[in-house]
Amino acid sequence: MTSRTIFVCTCEDSMAPDLRAIGRACPGDTLREAEHLCRSQLDRFLAALGEGAPVTVACTQEAPLFMQEAEAAGFGPALAFANIRETAGWSSDGAQAGAKMGALLAAAALPAPETPLVSLASQGVTLLLGRDATALTVAERLKDKLDLTVLLTGSEPVTPPRQAEYPVLRGQARGATGFLGQFTVTVDAFAAPAASSRGAYKWGAARQGAVSHADMVLDLTGGPPLFPMAELREGYLRADPANSAAVEKLVAEAGALVGEFAKPRFIEFTPGLCAHGRNKRIGCSRCLDLCPTGAITPGSALDHVVLSAEICAGCGACAAVCPTGAASYALPGPGFTLGRLRVLLHAYTAAGGQDAVLLLHDEKHGEALLDALARHGEGLPAHVLPLRVNEVSQTDLAMLAGAMAWGAAGVRLLLPAHRPHGAEGALRNLEFMQAALDGLGIAGDVPRVAAIETDDPFSLGEALRALRPSRTWPVASFLALGTTREILKQALAALRSAEAPEVVALPALAPMGAALVRAADCSLCLACTMVCPTSAFSANPERPELSFLEDACVQCGLCVATCPEKVITLEPRLNFAETARVAQVVKAEEPAHCPRCAKAFGTRSSIEKVKARLKASGHWMFSDPARLAVLELCEDCRVVEATTGGLDPYAGTPRPRPRTAEDLD
């Protein structure tokens, strides 16, 4: 990396940074100390801008000011910020937090990639669902901003307005799909009002299954929402008509949803890696089971799922549990997150820090708790390294294993007391990781990896101060390169000592393990090789042979669902043996040879099994041994036998000989 200028401000001497420890964490960088950089010593910052080197400021509170000055000066190199005050300096352990400060500043050197965006457009075409006069009141306030259609349930009498400035209809919304700019709502009991409606609407003939298309849907019915996790669906606004404050909020938000908008693309999806299904058989459904918003649906061919970036709310549950990497988190991508994690932990160790606990948190919930703990409590302990991610629920196994391999003695996920949507995937990964650590013999008195679910900053502080795990394994040096699965494997291998067992059992749904084949009953049909998305099962093109590579198995279950003999079972586990990294022959047979041309084809066991089943069926076509013998011929000779051997495949049972006059003598 290019050498940086790092400003470490004591913030009016409210903390005492250890520049020596920070220097060990950031070798090659120029450290400059200040006491009031954002005000009386701002000239020092301006002078550094003229030197042309990247600048990192150990302050996030005044980041807008520094960014403004850098823009005014035409500063081109990277300008980064790191919070060492609320996360390290403002703490009862502040004097011992030098290694942590250095680690945070080292991690800030990595430039964050650009955020991919998804475009949404709304022309203001709005379907307003209501049950009473509140719907018309809201419509009156929005009629000049939106192109409205009001759909009343008809459950309560509503007096028509003096002028029909927008359509008012009756109907029950049965279901809806879509997002801001592309909603489709199916309506039952759809009816138009009579023009002569007087004190209340009178409705005409009703019909079922009417369809409405809209850019927005405003739901004031007070009934169940039309979507799962409705508050996360862009363009669908819902309020209880009896709650005036909620109605006011809906009016304000609806009026602003006209135009073009952009939202982050939270997930990058690669269909070719998806292990959802093959040949109409369903295997992995982990993301489908966890997605809280319905953004993931089975594809029409069932070979892979379909992810709607417009609906996705970014919880990252799919990326956390995807065994193949088909779904990966993109805000930012795993390469940046894992790279920053590695730098953070390595710099902490280089600065003399020991037994770090990594605290993964988000901005909305986590930053608020850390700020409150620093300002009103004892602050974070010196051995706790906070790392902000977009969503804690995006935490995958590579992050957990990588943290432990790169020097963390423990990992904690900071979650709200009311568990957020999508957190099940990350919590499942904690279970997998803890099982792996237990099996490797490096578990402590308390779990090495776990979640802290609280909204109380003081409870958070107490839990972290009581957490003092020790690291007994060496720090790994491998880079955060490759897929998340490859990084996971490297991390697990680094955590294993020479005394640890070769095979470690894992809970169900873990993304690693073996597919065990009952070889005695396997017919070598090779159906498993045709559906395996990672080529863990493979065939030998030269002879009837089935091989299995455990290192490639993602436990999707497609082989189990496809096997006609039902001889395959899954066993989630870690296997560190050399045999797991080399394809092992599961079953092999000598090929069957055609008795007519001697061509090798199929296997003798499969042919005999098919013949036995056909004979046992009792069907007249297979009662003749000559017909069954045709199955022993290769595909070419079978055709020849059918055309020249007097074998009529459509012939029935022999008919009785016709009776003649001679039979009567």
Pick from 578, 633, 579: which is nearest to 602 by CA?
Answer: 633
* Residue 449, token pair as written in the block: 């990896």
- 252 burial (CB, 10 Å; 0-12 / 13-18 / 19+) is exposed
C-alpha span between 349 and 408 (Å, rounded): 9
- 440 burial (CB, 10 Å; 0-12 / 13-18 / 19+) is buried
CB 82 within 8 A of CB 58: yes
> Judging by DSSP bridges, how do beta strands 267-269 and 259-264 pair with one another?
unpaired
Structure confidence at residue 334 (pLDDT): 95
φ, ψ (nearest 5 deg) of residue 575: -125, 110
CB 138 within 8 A of CB 279: no
- 98-107 and 334-350 are packed helices; what angle lies between their axes, rounded to 10 degrees? 150
CB 491 within 8 A of CB 576: no
Pick from 241, 114, 103, 218: which is nearest to 166 by CA?
Answer: 218
Q: Could you tell me which residues are beta bridge partners of residue 216? A: 126
Q: 513-588 belongs to which CATH class?
A: alpha beta
Distances from the Cα of 513 to the Cα of 319, 420, 549, angstroms: 19, 30, 10
Does the 119-262 domain belong in CATH 2.40.360? no
The residue behind tokens 């991690």 is 107
SS3 assignment, position 471: coil
C-alpha span between 306 and 303 (Å, rounded): 10
Structure confidence at residue 185 (pLDDT): 98
Phi-psi region of 151 (alpha: psi -120 to 50; beta: other; left: phi over 0): beta
CB atoms within 10 A of CB 637: 18
* Residue 504, token pair as written in the block: 């470690």
CA 129-134-140 angle, 5° bins = 85
Structure confidence at residue 654 (pLDDT): 64
Pick from 371, 370, 372, 365: which is nearest to 384 by CA?
Answer: 370
CB 607 within 8 A of CB 592: yes
> Judging by DSSP bridges, how do beta strands 168-179 and 182-191 pair with one another?
antiparallel
CB 176 within 8 A of CB 151: no
Name every residue whose Cβ is closer than 8 Å to that of residue 477 and which is 6 or more positions away in sequence: 346
CB 158 within 8 A of CB 136: yes
* Helices vs strands, H then E, count in the chain: 19, 31
Structure confidence at residue 650 (pLDDT): 61
* Preceding omega of 332 cis (within 30 degrees of 0): yes
pLDDT (tens digit per residue) in 446-472:
999 999 999 999 999 999 999 999 999
SS3 assignment, position 431: helix
The whole-model pTM stands at 0.90
- 497 burial (CB, 10 Å; 0-12 / 13-18 / 19+) is exposed
Q: Half-sphere exposure of residue 250, counting CA atoms within 13 Å on the CB side? A: 28
* Residue 25, token pair as written in the block: 């964490």
Name every residue whose Cβ is closer than 8 Å to that of residue 389 and which is 6 or more positions away in sequence: 337, 360, 361, 362, 395
119-262 and 265-329 agree in CATH topology: no
C-alpha span between 188 and 201 (Å, rounded): 18
SS3 assignment, position 402: helix
CB 180 within 8 A of CB 234: yes
CB 364 within 8 A of CB 414: no
C-alpha span between 148 and 138 (Å, rounded): 10
CB 87 within 8 A of CB 232: no
Strands (E), 499-557: 503-505, 513-517, 537-539, 545-548
Structure confidence at residue 647 (pLDDT): 58
SS3 assignment, position 231: helix
CB atoms within 10 A of CB 385: 28
Report the run of H or E that residue 130 belongs to, with start and end.
strand 125-130
Q: Where are the domains of the chain?
A: 5-113+332-465, 119-262, 265-329, 513-588, 594-599+608-644
**Residue 483 CA to its chain's centroid (Å):** 14
C-alpha span between 330 and 130 (Å, rounded): 38
Does the 265-329 domain belong in CATH 3.30.420.130? no
With a cut of 50, list the residues of the chain below it in pLDDT.
none
Structure confidence at residue 628 (pLDDT): 82
